[in-house]
């Protein structure tokens, strides 16, 4: 079976072609066109324009595969930014008409989890899903169940906003990570964990009021936010007696977060897993 996938939940328009034979999966193509981080953030209509303009490049990539005969077209149905999602849906529906094959919607969050489980070969892990719009602790029973989550904004969104407000380069979570690596000076900030839930808005507000250097603000904010998340994960790990911890989502690429979760997992004799960077971010 051959599937063409289209991703467009937020800042990235992605295209992939995957071939599956039994349990063996082969990626034939994996391309992405990302809208760059800017000081104004991600404006929905500008993301839609970006995806629409790059749809031509997407079509050209498929034209190069002259003998391609897909069995189905999949696309990200949500969660995500409505303007971006609509463009991806139109592209996928057009491809479905062109190739005369079924159109299959995919849950973006579940896709992050499933690709992590597949690459890391986990069985029933405690799932830590961290991205711009989502920060959740998830277990799988008969179906996926969210047992802990942010009560306001996602971890990635909080770090992106901090990066923009501080005028970092790049003005996002990557910029925060770079600045945070320059110091080990820590300043105490609001720490909000309630059971297995957590809150980041108070932390962001307090961080922006600090009269400290940018690197100290970034380091203190990142350490506090990650500590909150790890505490909630540790509580979930003990409650559900999980033997594996799987970190997925765009912010799963943060090496400091990986380190903190790895240490916590080791202390509870649990295996820590994270997919390769290529499959942590948004892609088809």
The separation between the first and the last C-alpha atoms of the chain, rounded to the nearest angstrom, is 16
pLDDT digits (tens, 9 = 90+) for 181-225: 999 999 999 999 999 999 999 999 999 999 999 999 999 999 999
Question: What is the per-residue pLDDT for 281?
Answer: 86
Q: How many CB atoms lie within 10 A of CB 123?
A: 9
Q: What does the pLDDT read at residue 23?
A: 79
Q: pTM for the full model?
A: 0.92
Reported residue count of the chain is 284
Average pLDDT of the residues in 96-103: 96
C-alpha R_g of the chain = 20
In the chain, the domains with their CATH numbers are 2-101 (3.30.420.40), 122-279 (3.30.420.40)
Cβ(158)–Cβ(198) below 8 Å: no
């Amino acid at each position: 079976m051959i599937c063409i996938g289209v991703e467009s939940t937020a800042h990235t328009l992605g295209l992939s072609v995957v071939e599956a034979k039994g349990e063996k999966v082969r990626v034939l193509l994996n391309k992405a066109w990302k809208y760059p981080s800017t000081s104004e953030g991600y404006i929905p209509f500008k993301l839609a324009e970006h995806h629409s303009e790059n749809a031509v490049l997407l079509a050209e990539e498929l034209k190069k595969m002259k003998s391609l005969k897909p069995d189905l077209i999949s696309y990200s149905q949500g969660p995500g930014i409505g303007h971006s999602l609509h463009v991806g849906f139109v592209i996928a529906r057009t491809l479905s008409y062109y190739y005369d094959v079924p159109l299959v919607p995919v849950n973006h969050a579940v896709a992050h989890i499933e690709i992590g489980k597949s690459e890391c070969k986990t069985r029933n892990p405690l799932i830590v899903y961290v991205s711009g719009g989502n920060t959740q602790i998830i277990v799988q029973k008969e179906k996926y169940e969210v047992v802990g989550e942010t009560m306001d904004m996602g971890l990635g969104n909080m770090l992106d906003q901090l990066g923009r407000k501080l005028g970092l380069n790049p003005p996002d979570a990557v910029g925060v990570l770079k600045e945070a690596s320059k110091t080990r000076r820590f300043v105490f900030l609001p720490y909000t964990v309630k059971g297995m839930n957590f809150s980041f808005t108070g932390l962001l507000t307090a961080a922006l009021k600090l009269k400290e250097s940018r690197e100290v603000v970034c380091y203190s904010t990142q350490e506090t936010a990650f500590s909150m998340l790890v505490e909630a994960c540790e509580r979930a790990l003990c409650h559900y007696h999980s033997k594996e911890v799987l970190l997925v989502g765009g912010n799963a690429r943060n090496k400091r977060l990986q380190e903190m979760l790895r240490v916590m997992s080791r202390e509870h004799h649990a295996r820590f897993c994270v997919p390769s960077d290529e499959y942590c971010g948004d892609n088809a």
